[in-house]
Amino acid sequence: MNSLNLAHPPNDNSVNGREVEIRGVIKSGEPRVLTNIYREDTNIVVWQRKLSGTLRQSVDDFLKANTNFETSMTVTPQSALLSVSEALGDTDQSELSENITELVDMFCCLFEIKRAGLRLAILDRAMCPKFHADKVPCRLVTTFQGVATEWLPHQAVNRSKLGVGSQGKPDHESGLYQNHHDIQQLNCGDVGLLKGELWEGNENAGLVHRSPSLPDSERRLLLTLDFSH
């Protein structure tokens, strides 16, 4: 497939052992922005994607017809369409299956991997309610319906307050960040590449993020893609 032709730039994430202090965000409405994940001064890249009206409607119908749904699988760009379609079990969800398949193709092409770990789930509560950094090289996240992932700029984080360093306090009391306005959020439809702790040269700089809290009776449809070997 690879209709978007995501080129693979050289990985310059580590330069002569020099630690990069500034790690920011790059956003664009063009899918090629995702190649910027290879920049050493970046730990999140956002493709500000708009979902079509027909896709939004079909996803809404799917959530109304399914109280609970979750599937996890390992897919290749070639197997994703059939595997996702079978998991959804709904012939009316062909556009969603094709959309997910395109993301799988882009993800595998960008990172030169043969397969990806895929998780698609309807969530009615915050899956990971506290800010954290993932111990992965990089993760793709996108929300097809509902509120999307929250994150903190690298420079706004006191990393000593992550995990046990919070001493059990909620994020807003632990000292992890100083100002509520530091919290950033993806929009529904956005495709985010979140650089993790296991990306070479990105130790202690993995993007700090969390699942958003959901208003009563609201749900979200979340897709994540991870490296798979």
Beta strand segments in the chain, E:
24-28, 42-47, 70-75, 116-123, 132-133, 138-145, 150-152, 184-185, 191-195, 208-210, 220-227
Averaged pLDDT score across all residues of the chain: 89
Contact 88, 96 (CB under 8 A): yes
Give the model's confidence band at 18: pLDDT under 50 very low, under 70 low, under 90 confident, else very high. very low
Structure tokens at 62: 């799917």
Q: What is the DSSP letter of 196?
A: -
Structure tokens at 86: 């079978």
CA distance 59 to 3: 23
Helix ranges (DSSP H) in 22-130: 53-65, 80-88, 94-111
Residue 182 one-letter amino acid: D
**% of the chain at pLDDT higher than 70:** 90
Residues 127, 132, 137: CA angle, nearest 5 degrees: 100
Residue 14 pLDDT > 80: no
CA distance 142 to 92: 21
90-115 residue pLDDT tens: 778 999 999 999 999 999 999 999 99
Helix ranges (DSSP H) in the chain: 53-65, 80-88, 94-111, 171-174
- Which domains does the chain show, CATH number per domain? 30-226 (2.60.120.10)
25-75 residue pLDDT tens: 999 999 999 999 999 999 999 999 999 999 999 999 999 999 899 999 999
Neighbour order of strands in the sheet with 191-195? 24-28, 42-47, 191-195, 138-145, 220-227, 116-123, 70-75
Collapsed DSSP state (helix, strand, coil) of residue 17:
coil
Residue 16 pLDDT > 60: no
114-158 residue pLDDT tens: 999 999 999 987 677 789 999 999 999 999 999 999 999 999 999
142 beta partners:
191, 223
Predicted TM-score of the model (pTM):
0.88
Contact 90, 62 (CB under 8 A): yes
